[in-house]
């Protein structure tokens, strides 16, 4: 893959928004005053595109649900004699599915008490936690012009080191958690450092290297889990012992909920990443290197150093996503610890436009879809895979704003028209 | 050749020498380390005075050959020295500012694996290395990698990065199983599979050429989409109707005479239809890409789209067509997992083979024959993993499973020689 | 074939690049299309060649109206074009490049007939004395040879109208003469040649008819006998003084001293700078002249540290520079205006304000202890935008939205914001309009007068003469000689081709 010839934004090729920091007053404050131009502004905004992309994806997801629903298919066989049956079945299938999603991800309206009512939402936030961590790291990479596909491997290596500290070392309360969390970050950082340094020193494309490192990490962990040091003594399965309670993230809403301290740490990281990218001189370098590495170098920036640092930081954040798994929800290390989190985090970072606030919101959205999985299975009899389909569709639509605009017949913003001309 | 003097040299910066002068010691160092390790571990690590036995034919073969027994240490040391000699050749070429061909890393890989095999099989009374079986399964395991790498080559030669090979394989595997089961004929699956892969390729092409979305993004997301979709239908429609997902078999078709040749015959010419299609695909695409009008145009589009446009070649149309074709080829390769292996469809059954195919494409330097060689090397590593598991070797199978990935990292870091992707790869063409 | 363009109009958004342009090119003549950078010459030819759709007007060939939907149509109709940036695939051979798009095939498998393509290349090459090997890889050819491949490409398609877009920009004076000779041969064989250029001498040398374009409209035609001053004022729209007002230099002590500087390109192992020695004093402008690609770029890059120094010494104000980072060299007082503004000078996706601190961002007051102060950055930007007359709605606008001239002002403003000891400006006015050129030249002379040592790298002789206090001429990575700006053009041209007066005497 040709180096340095990529687009300025790895995320999409449409012109970038002005990169003035969030919260900074927009200097070109020629806000249109009339209602019509306000409406136009809303129709052209990328927020509306995001919302419409979500709507379109849920709608396509609905079609799939209908197609897969046995009662709908059965009723459809005699559609022309009794169409009402088909529509009835369709309504049931869709209503059931969307209700299950809401009950599973937002508020459980069937619950008896307040705790039960809000439990789904806390579950959503729990599920969002690793996605926030990893998505933040990937976002830094995207803005620095690095396409890191390796969150999966970085997460796994981080989780391995953190889990090892968690179950093998027995340290006092507080210190144990701190060391375990740092272990996760360190493991991920090492696995991010490798592609960073290869890119900086040999020009090896990070996409290829990180993909390969994902599989190397998986095999490495599979091997480690056959060793006595890592394998649970009473088991033949590749599974580690449970991490000590002192190394687990404390539950922040009490034992009734799964939401743990990792979520707050993730929010803190989001703020940290915002500061890094928008306010710090280091972030300025990262952004300059991402947008034009040659100009950055001519201006005296050390591009190699930036690549290595970005990949290391991204790896550390992915490692922290691993901590949300091994020190938070799962408490053990297996080869399945990473699940598809590394790839899901890519979609999170893309949907969040690589910005911290966007990433947190996207992670909560996709965390919600994941949280709804079990409820979908139980209440609507739908496999959890439907949420991955919806997730992928959302990102595809987001990546191509003109496509969404043409589906919903929204006006194109000025810059896109120029491109079309 | 023309007798006119070749005009060279006005500008030192513009590359006026006819020989591309690239003096890089990276390949020498990278391969040298591997060869040295091979000598240390496999060569000198083998106990003296023991033997390794290779079985080259089974009792059912037309002509049976006796097993070959070699002194293990001598063989492993010899193979390692051959590897070192190959490194010497690389060093010699590097010193002359010359590059080495694709064959070298592939032969090198085979030699080192041979040393490994000799070492692992040493002093195991009662167990022998089943060479024919090993090669047969190596070829078979290489099938999806070859198709995937061909798909990658077709797309990337036209300038579209195809990370979605994994998704194309999976879609092909799924539709092949579904349609073949519905019709009740495994061969119908071979028609359905490329359609599924082609659709994924078309999506990749449209998002890349029409909406200019980053091609890596589209590739990754399409993989997730196909994974979600196939898993969803597997858990709903297929599990509700088991008759739509049956294990169907595609018989091996032994080619008369050819299949009777010792060792090579059963390995190459007693396979199922998909394998024969693979042979044809490699040959046809190799010739077409480098010697036909279509191939010249495709490569021009991938190297310098503007230049292609100025001579009247439709850049984006070429890219869309190639990406759809590439997707279809990968989709056909996906049929390997279901109808060509006699298996029903299973969730996530491609298990990352698409990414290894991508690796084979890079190691094969974007050419069909290179892709074939690299895929065979990776298939061999995979087969070896299985074989060593059978003879109870000490080598953790996970390490053998890592070899394709490590080899690829070596390759992109320039440690196995120079590789240059098509220059316009990944860049949307905008007039 | 007689080519006629009627009222061709082409708009990009609100900008009209071509406004109802009429043009007639007779067979067997050379028609020069003269105009400044950005006047609309290339746009017009791209419309003719089918690369752009016109918004109005028509194209007639031998009186017949033609519509080209793409370059394929134009070529089929007998129009050939040699683009300013060569349209050759570097990894293909000459024969493959020539056949691309109209390949001959043979045999039942319809494989490429490379022999036919080779024969065609050899035939045309021999006819015009091009000396091009059909089996050479294009990436291995010199720029001049690549241009001849482009001409072969056009002729192999039986082009009756040949468009040459700024063909001499990359050639030595001698190669330019050879090209003009070839153009003469083509004309004599009946081809209609359109020569796009902004170089007045070439026009006078070869053109039969001259059409001058300014801001997208035809401002007039001229005879080849017109003087350079007449042509220039037509091109620019007002009287142009061919020189820049400046006082004589008052050089101080040496600021930059280079001795035996050698640079070997690590990728190609070619010696791009060959024991170069020179010195630049405070308060003088040294112009480095030469045909592009003779080591000037590498010289500028080696001083800053962008290219690694193989051997030799560079010192600034007595301090050695070799082995230091770019950052340290910038901090030591080097200002650097890169040759390729959009690639190396600015980050198009950044605001003007951020581009103005691209090498100042980690200094006070723009940042303190690693944190950037947005208001200090904005204040600085507003001040600089005003001082350098950057035409923009706001300093928070994206730099990519600016014209080339305004982007160059941003680069200059940034580099001149520091206290400089040495200013290196490569091709400082390439692609700029006359107004911007004058502005940039004035600023550079102001720096000189402040006592800064200045190096200008330029392949435009006019610019070299206008600015230089001394001129260093480079050829093949070496300094041929350092001469005074009253050296005449012919001598300069010979030196740019490597001929050295002293050497001949010594021999």
Q: Residue A384's closest chain B neighbor by CA?
A: B232
Q: Does residue B139 carry a pLDDT above 60?
A: yes
Backbone φ and ψ of C218, nearest 5°? -75, 120
Residue in A149, A202, A350 nearest the CB of B413 = A202
For residue B422, what is the nearest residue in chain C, using CA coordinates? C91
For the cut 90, the answer to whether the pLDDT of residue B158 exceeds it is yes
Rounded to 10 degrees, the C-alpha dihedral A85/A87/A89/A94 comes to -170
Q: pLDDT value at position B125?
A: 62
C339 φ, ψ (degrees, to nearest 5): -65, -45
Rounded to whole angstroms, the Cα distance separating B296 from C168 reads: 30
Interface test with B, best of C46, C48, C101, C298 (most B CBs within 10 A): C101
Nearest chain B alpha carbon to A223: B398
Chain B positions touching C99 (Cβ under 8 A) are 296
Q: What is the pLDDT of residue A420?
A: 31
Helices (H), B38-71: none
* C302 to chain A: closest CA residue: A298
- Give the A window 344-363 contacts with B, CB below 8 Å: 344, 346-347, 350
Nearest Cβ partner for B10 among C75, C125, C175: C175
Give A-chain residues touching B236 at CB under 8 angstroms.
68-69, 382-383
Q: Report the complex ipTM.
A: 0.83
Indicate if the pLDDT at residue A32 is higher than 80.
no
In percent, how much of chain A has pLDDT > 90? Answer: 53
**Nearest chain B Cα distance for residue C95, angstroms:** 12
Beta-sheet pairing, C422-426 with C453-458: parallel
Instruction: Answer whether A400's CB lies under 8 Å from B213's CB.
Output: yes
Report which DSSP code applies to C270: -
Cβ C467 vs Cβ C441: under 8 Å: yes
Among B152, B166, B221, which would you mutate to test the A interface (most chain A Cβ atoms within 10 Å of its Cβ)? B221
Contact A399, A11 (CB under 8 A): yes
Measure the CA–CA gap between C182 and C168, rounded to whole angstroms: 13
What's the pLDDT score for residue A12?
A: 40
* pLDDT at position B9 over 70: no
- Give yes or no for residue A14 having a pLDDT over 60: no
| Chain C residues touching chain A at CB-CB below 8 Å | 12-13, 304, 306, 325-327, 329-331, 336, 338, 343-351, 354, 358-359, 361-362, 367, 370-372, 374, 378, 393-398, 400
Angle between helices A261-279 and A114-143 (to 10 degrees): 30
Looking up tokens 């000189």, which residue turns up?
C448
Nearest C-alpha of chain A: how many angstroms from B62? 41
Question: Is the model's pLDDT at B289 over the cut of 90?
Answer: yes
| Per-residue model confidence as pLDDT tens digits over B334-359 | 999 999 999 999 999 998 899 999 98
pLDDT score recorded for residue B117: 82
Minimal C-alpha gap between C276 and chain B (Å): 15
**Which chain A residues contact residue B225 at CB under 8 A?**
389, 392-393, 396
Confidence check: pLDDT of B419 > 80 = no
Chain C residues whose CB is inside 8 A of the B292 CB are 105, 109-112
Nearest-by-CA chain C residue for B5:
C131
- pLDDT higher than threshold 80 for residue A278: yes
Q: Mean pLDDT, to the nearest integer, of A95-117?
A: 87
Q: Could you tell me which chain B residue has the CA closest to the CA of C102? A: B311
**Pairing mode, if any, of strands C422-426 and C334-337?**
parallel
Give the per-residue pLDDT at A413.
Answer: 66
Q: What is the pLDDT of residues A231-253, one digit of tens each?
A: 888 888 899 999 999 999 999 99
Q: Confirm if C21 and C217 have CB atoms less than 8 A apart.
A: yes
B225 touching chain A per CB within 8 A: yes
Per-residue pLDDT averaged across B390-415, rounded? Answer: 81
Residue C414's nearest CA partner among C481, C338, C471, C479 is C338
**C-alpha pair distances (Å), B59 with each of B63, B132, B187, B335, C465:** 9, 12, 30, 31, 89
Q: Cα(A85)–Cα(A71) distance, rounded to whole angstroms?
A: 9
Q: Where are the domains of chain A?
A: 130-368
Q: How far apart are CA C492 and CA B84, in angstroms?
A: 56
Provide the pLDDT for residue A199.
92
Residue B228 contacts residue A391 (beta carbons within 8 Å): yes
Instruction: Count the alpha carbons within 13 Å of C208 in the hemisphere toward its beta carbon.
Output: 16
User: Which residues of chain A make contact with B233, given a CB cutoff of 8 A?
Assistant: 68
Q: Considering only A261-270, B50-59, B227-236, B318-327, which range has the smallest mean pLDDT?
A: B50-59
Contact between B7 and C81 using a beta-carbon 8 Å cutoff? no
Q: Which residue of C has its CA nearest to B421?
A: C91
State the chains in contact with A (3 or more Cβ–Cβ pairs under 8 Å): B, C
- Would you state the pLDDT for residue A1? 40
**Ranges under pLDDT 50 in chain C:** 502-507
Q: What is the pLDDT of residue C240?
A: 59
pLDDT digits (tens, 9 = 90+) for A349-399: 988 889 999 999 999 999 999 999 888 888 888 888 988 899 999 989 888
Residues of chain B contacting C103 with CB distance shorter than 8 Å: 293, 296-297
pLDDT tens digit sequence for B57-82 = 665 555 667 777 888 888 889 999 99
* H or E segment and range at residue B221: helix B215-233
Reply yes or no on whether the pLDDT at B199 is more than 80.
Answer: yes
Nearest CB to B11 within list C99, C134, C143? C143
pLDDT (mean) for A67-72: 81
Minimal CA separation from C349 to chain A, in Å: 6
Question: What residues in C contact B12, CB-CB < 8 Å?
Answer: 270-272, 293-295, 476-477
Quote the minimal CA–CA distance from C449 to chain A in Å. Answer: 25
Model pLDDT for residues A290-348, shown as the tens digit of each residue = 999 999 999 999 999 999 999 999 999 999 999 999 999 999 999 999 988 999 999 99
Phi and psi, residue C85, nearest 5°: -95, 120
Three-class SS of B243-291: HHCCCCCCCCEECCCHHHCCCHHHHHHEECHHHHHHHHHHHHHHHHHHH
What confidence tier does B126 reach under pLDDT thresholds 50, 70, 90?
low
Per-residue pLDDT, A348: 93
Q: Which residue of B has its CA nearest to C157?
A: B311
Q: How many CB pairs under 8 A join A and B?
A: 166
Q: What's the pLDDT score for residue C504?
A: 41
In chain A, the N- to C-terminal Cα span, in Å, equals: 30
Kindly determine whether residue C326 and residue A26, on different chains, have CB atoms separated by under 8 Å: no
Q: Is the peptide bond before C365 cis (omega within 30 degrees of 0)?
A: yes
CB C284 within 8 Å of CB C469:
yes
In this structure, the strands spanning C271-281 and C254-264 are antiparallel
pLDDT for C224? 84
Query: pLDDT at position C445, please?
Result: 93
Say whether residue B296 is in contact with chain C using an 8 A CB cutoff: yes
Comparing A19-33, A111-125, B388-402, which segment has the lowest mean pLDDT?
A: A19-33
Percent over 70 (pLDDT), chain B? 90
A25-28's contacts with Cβ under 8 Å and 24+ in sequence apart are: A26/C396, A27/C378, A27/C394, A27/C395, A27/C396, A28/C393, A28/C394, A28/C396, A28/C397
Q: Is the pLDDT assigned to residue A33 strictly greater than 80?
A: no
Of B214, B229, B412, the CB nearest to A11: B214
For residue C419, give the nearest of C340, C354, C363, C375 by alpha carbon. Answer: C363
Chain A closest-CA separation from residue C337 CA (Å): 9
Encode pLDDT of C312-353 as tens digits.
999 999 999 878 899 999 999 999 999 888 889 999 999 999
| Domains observed in chain C | 3-236 (3.40.50.300), 244-333+420-507 (3.40.50.300), 344-418 (no CATH)
Nearest residue on chain A to B219, judged by CA atoms? A396
- Which phi and psi angles does C482 have, rounded to 5°? -115, 120
**Separation CA C475–CA C296 (nearest Å):** 9
CA distance A418 to chain C (A): 6
* Contact by Cβ (8 Å): A70, A76: no
Residues of B in contact with A397 (CB under 8 A): none
Count other Cβ atoms within 10 Å, centred on residue A239: 17
Interface of A with B in 218-247 (CB under 8 A): 219-220, 222-223, 226
Nearest CA in chain A to C328: A300
Cβ under 8 Å to B: A residues 34-73 = 64, 67-70
| pLDDT (mean) for A259-263 | 96
Q: Which residue of B has its CA nearest to A389?
A: B228
Place of tokens 């103005």: C356
CB-CB under 8 Å, C142 with B8 = yes
Cα C431 to Cα A56: distance, rounded to the nearest angstrom = 46
Dihedral sign from CA coordinates of B335, B339, B343, B344: positive
What is the structure's pLDDT at A42?
61
The tokens of A148 are what? Answer: 């890191």
Per-residue pLDDT, averaged over B208-234, amounts to 93
Residue B14 pLDDT more than 70?
Answer: no
CB-based contact (8 Å) between B237 and chain A? yes
CB contact under 8 A, B2 and C134: yes
């Amino acid at each position: 893959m040709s180096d340095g010839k990529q687009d300025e934004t790895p995320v999409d090729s449409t012109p970038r928004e002005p990169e003035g920091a969030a919260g900074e007053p927009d200097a070109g404050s020629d806000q249109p005053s009339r209602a019509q131009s306000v409406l136009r502004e809303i129709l052209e905004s990328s927020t509306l595109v995001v919302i419409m992309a979500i709507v379109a994806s849920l709608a396509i997801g609905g079609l799939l649900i209908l197609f897969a629903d046995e009662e709908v298919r059965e009723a459809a066989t005699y559609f022309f004699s009794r169409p009402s049956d088909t529509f009835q079945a369709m309504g049931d299938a869709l209503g059931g599915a969307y209700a299950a999603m809401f009950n599973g991800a937002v508020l459980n309206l069937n619950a008896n008490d307040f705790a039960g009512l809000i439990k789904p939402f806390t579950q959503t936030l729990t599920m969002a936690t690793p996605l926030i961590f990893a998505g933040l790291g990937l976002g830094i990479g995207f803005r620095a012009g690095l396409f890191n596909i390796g969150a999966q491997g970085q997460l796994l290596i981080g989780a391995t080191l953190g889990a090892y500290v968690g179950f093998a070392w027995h340290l006092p309360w507080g210190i144990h958690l701190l060391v375990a969390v740092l272990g996760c970050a360190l493991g991920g950082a090492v696995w991010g450092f490798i592609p960073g340094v290869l890119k900086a020193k040999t020009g090896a494309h990070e996409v290829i290297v990180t993909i390969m490192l994902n599989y190397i990490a998986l095999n490495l962990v599979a091997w480690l889990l056959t060793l006595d040091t890592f394998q649970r003594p009473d088991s033949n399965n590749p599974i580690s012992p449970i991490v000590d309670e002192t190394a687990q993230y404390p539950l922040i809403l009490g034992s009734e909920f799964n939401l743990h301290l990792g979520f707050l740490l993730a929010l803190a990281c989001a703020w940290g990443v915002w500061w890094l990218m928008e306010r710090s001189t280091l972030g300025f370098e990262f952004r300059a290197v991402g947008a034009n590495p040659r100009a950055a170098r001519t201006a005296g920036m050390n591009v190699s150093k930036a690549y290595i640092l970005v990949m290391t930081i991204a790896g550390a954040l992915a490692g922290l996503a691993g901590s949300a798994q091994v020190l938070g929800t799962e408490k053990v290390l297996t080869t399945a610890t990473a699940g598809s989190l590394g790839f899901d985090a890519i979609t999170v970072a893309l949907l969040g436009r690589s910005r911290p606030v966007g990433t947190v919101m996207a992670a909560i959205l996709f965390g919600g879809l994941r949280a709804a999985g079990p409820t979908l299975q139980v209440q609507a009899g739908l496999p959890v895979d439907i949420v991955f389909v919806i997730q992928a569709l959302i990102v595809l639509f987001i990546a191509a704003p003109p496509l969404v605009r043409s589906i919903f017949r929204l006006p194109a913003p000025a810059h896109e028209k120029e491109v079309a001309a | 050749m023309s007798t006119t003097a070749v005009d060279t040299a006005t500008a030192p910066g513009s590359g006026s020498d006819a020989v591309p002068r690239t003096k890089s010691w990276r390949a020498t160092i990278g391969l040298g380390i591997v060869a040295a390790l091979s000598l240390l571990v496999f060569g000198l690590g083998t106990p003296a005075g023991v033997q390794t036995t290779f079985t080259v034919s089974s009792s059912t073969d037309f002509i049976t050959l006796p097993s070959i027994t070699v002194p293990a240490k001598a063989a492993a040391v010899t193979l390692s020295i051959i590897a070192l000699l190959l490194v010497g050749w690389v060093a010699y070429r590097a010193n002359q500012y010359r590059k080495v061909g694709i064959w070298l890393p592939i032969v090198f890989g085979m030699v080192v694996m041979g040393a490994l095999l000799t070492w692992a099989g040493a002093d195991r009374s009662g167990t022998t290395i089943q060479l024919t079986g090993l090669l047969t399964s190596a070829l078979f395991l290489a099938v999806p990698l070859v198709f995937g790498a061909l798909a990658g080559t077709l797309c990337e030669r036209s300038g579209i990065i195809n990370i979605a090979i994994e998704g194309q394989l999976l879609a092909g595997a799924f539709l092949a199983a579904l349609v073949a089961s519905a019709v009740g004929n495994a061969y119908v699956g071979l028609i359905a599979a490329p359609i599924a892969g082609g659709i994924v390729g078309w999506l990749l092409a449209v998002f890349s050429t029409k909406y200019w979305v980053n091609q890596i993004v589209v590739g990754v997301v399409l993989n997730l989409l196909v994974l979600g979709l196939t898993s969803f239908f597997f858990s709903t429609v297929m599990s509700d109707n088991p008759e739509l997902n049956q294990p169907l078999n595609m018989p091996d078709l032994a080619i008369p005479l050819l299949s009777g040749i010792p060792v090579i015959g059963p390995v190459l010419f007693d396979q199922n239809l998909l394998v024969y299609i693979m042979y044809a695909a490699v040959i046809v695409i190799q010739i077409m890409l480098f010697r036909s009008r279509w191939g010249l145009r495709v490569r021009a589009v991938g190297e310098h789209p503007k230049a292609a446009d100025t001579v009247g070649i439709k850049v984006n149309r070429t890219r869309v067509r190639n990406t759809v074709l590439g997707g279809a080829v990968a989709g056909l390769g996906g049929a390997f997992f279901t109808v060509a292996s006699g298996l029903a469809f299973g969730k996530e059954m491609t298990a990352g083979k698409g990414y290894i195919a991508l690796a084979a494409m890079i190691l094969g330097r974007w050419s069909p024959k290179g892709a074939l060689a690299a895929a065979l090397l990776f298939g061999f590593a995979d087969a070896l993993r299985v074989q060593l598991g059978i003879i109870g070797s000490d080598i953790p199978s996970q390490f053998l499973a890592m070899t394709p990935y490590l080899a690829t990292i070596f390759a992109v870091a320039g440690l196995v020689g120079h590789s240059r992707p098509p220059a316009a790869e990944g860049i949307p063409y905008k007039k | 074939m007689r080519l006629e363009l009627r009222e061709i109009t082409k708009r990009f958004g609100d900008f009209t690049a071509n406004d109802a342009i009429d043009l007639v090119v007779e067979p067997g003549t050379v028609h020069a299309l003269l105009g400044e950078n950005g006047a609309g010459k290339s746009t017009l030819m791209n419309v003719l060649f089918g690369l752009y759709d016109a918004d109005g007007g028509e194209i007639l060939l031998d009186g017949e109206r033609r519509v080209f939907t793409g370059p394929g149509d134009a070529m089929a109709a007998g129009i050939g074009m040699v683009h300013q940036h060569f349209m050759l695939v570097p990894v293909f051979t000459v024969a493959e490049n020539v056949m691309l798009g109209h390949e001959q095939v043979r045999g039942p498998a319809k494989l490429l007939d490379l022999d036919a393509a080779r024969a065609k290349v050899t035939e045309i090459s021999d006819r015009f004395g091009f000396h091009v090997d059909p089996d050479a890889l294009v990436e291995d050819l010199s720029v001049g040879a690549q241009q001849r491949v482009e001409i072969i490409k056009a002729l192999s398609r039986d082009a009756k109208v040949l468009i040459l877009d700024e063909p001499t920009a990359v050639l030595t004076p001698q190669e330019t003469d050879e090209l003009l000779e070839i153009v003469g041969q083509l004309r004599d064989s009946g081809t209609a040649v359109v020569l796009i250029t902004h170089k007045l001498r070439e026009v006078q040398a070869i053109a039969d008819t001259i059409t001058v374009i300014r801001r997208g409209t035809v401002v007039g035609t001229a005879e080849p006998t017109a003087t350079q001053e007449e042509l220039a004022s037509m091109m620019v729209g007002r009287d142009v003084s061919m020189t820049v007002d400046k006082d004589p230099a008052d050089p101080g002590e040496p600021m930059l001293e280079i001795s035996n500087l050698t640079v070997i390109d690590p990728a190609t192992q070619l010696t791009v700078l060959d024991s170069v020695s020179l010195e630049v004093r405070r308060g003088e402008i040294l112009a480095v002249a030469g045909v592009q690609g003779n080591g000037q770029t590498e010289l500028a890059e080696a001083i800053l540290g962008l290219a690694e120094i193989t051997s030799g010494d560079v010192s600034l104000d007595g301090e050695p520079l070799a082995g230091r980072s770019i950052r340290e060299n910038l901090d030591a007082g080097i200002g650097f205006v890169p040759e390729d503004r959009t690639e190396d000078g600015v980050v198009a996706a950044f605001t003007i304000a951020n581009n103005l601190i691209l090498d100042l961002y980690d200094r006070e007051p723009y940042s303190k202890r690693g944190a950037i102060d947005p208001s200090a950055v904005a204040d600085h930007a507003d001040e600089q935008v005003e001082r350098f007359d950057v035409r923009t709605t706001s300093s928070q606008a994206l730099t990519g939205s600016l014209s080339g001239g305004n982007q160059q002002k941003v680069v200059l403003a940034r580099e001149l914001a520091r206290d400089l000891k040495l200013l290196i400006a490569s091709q400082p006015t390439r692609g700029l309009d006359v107004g911007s050129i004058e502005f940039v030249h004035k600023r550079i002379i102001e720096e000189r007068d402040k006592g800064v040592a200045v190096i200008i790298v330029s392949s435009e002789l006019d610019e070299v003469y206008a600015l230089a206090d001394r001129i260093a001429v480079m050829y093949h990575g070496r300094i041929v000689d350092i001469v005074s700006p009253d050296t005449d053009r012919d001598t300069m041209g010979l030196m740019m081709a490597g001929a050295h007066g002293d050497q001949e005497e010594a021999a």
